Amino acid sequence: MITNSKVAYHDHDHARCENAAMIQARNVCRARGARLTPSREAVLQLIWQNHKPIGAYALIEKLTELNGKRVLPPTVYRAIDFLLSLGLIHRIASLNSFIGCPFPGSAHSDLFLVCRACGSAAECSAEGINSAISATAARAGFTAESQSVEILGLCPQCKLQATESTQ
């Protein structure tokens, strides 16, 4: 299983996550002949400000603040589309929001563990789930092409706090 759950829900040096993400993004873009323009980079950086999925309009606000000049929806949605197409971010459909991919470039099908208390989400690429999904699809005669697997619940930190507060 590949996952960033060890960092996503816990205190950590997040600057390292951001740096790694930006470096990987540049590598992916170079490899694919795509241009990581300043506005795309700014959107990616904002998405990577933490491990919580963020909505397009929140990005618009933050970007407006950052630029000191009004940013309009198409600007952000274009950046989002670009980043999605390269697999640098993912869309969390159940939240209408977006999160950085911690392991872009490597083929993987995704599962997200979204904490309903703190809002943080970890991504997991688990062979067990992918094979279970394939098997289920196959039994239905269905050919799977893409998936959206989003689990809502409590992360270890928030669960701990919930337990403590009820003692």
Let me know the angle formed at the C-alpha of 113 by 60 and 161, rounded to the nearest 5 degrees: 95
Distances in Å between the Cα of 110 and the Cα atoms of 30, 78, 80, 105 are 24, 23, 18, 13
Query: Which of residues 59 and 122 has its CB atom nearest to a second copy in the complex?
Result: 122
**Helix or strand (DSSP H, E) at 7:** helix 5-8
Site for a second copy in 134-163 (CB under 8 A): 135-137, 139-156, 159
Both structure tokens of 27: 């590598």
Stretch that binds a second copy, among 11-19, 65-73, 80-88, 127-135 (CB under 8 A): 127-135
Enumerate residues 6+ apart whose C-beta is below 8 A from 106: 2
**Helix or strand (DSSP H, E) at 57:** helix 56-67
Q: Which of 128, 164, 165, 166 binds a second copy (CB under 8 A)?
A: 128
Q: Which of 3, 20, 22, 39 binds DNA (CB under 7 A)?
A: 39
**Shortest distance in whole angstroms from residue 128 CB to a second copy:** 4
Q: Which residues bind a second copy (CB under 8 A)?
A: 1, 3, 5, 9, 93-94, 111, 113, 115-116, 122, 124, 126, 128-129, 131-133, 135-137, 139-156, 159
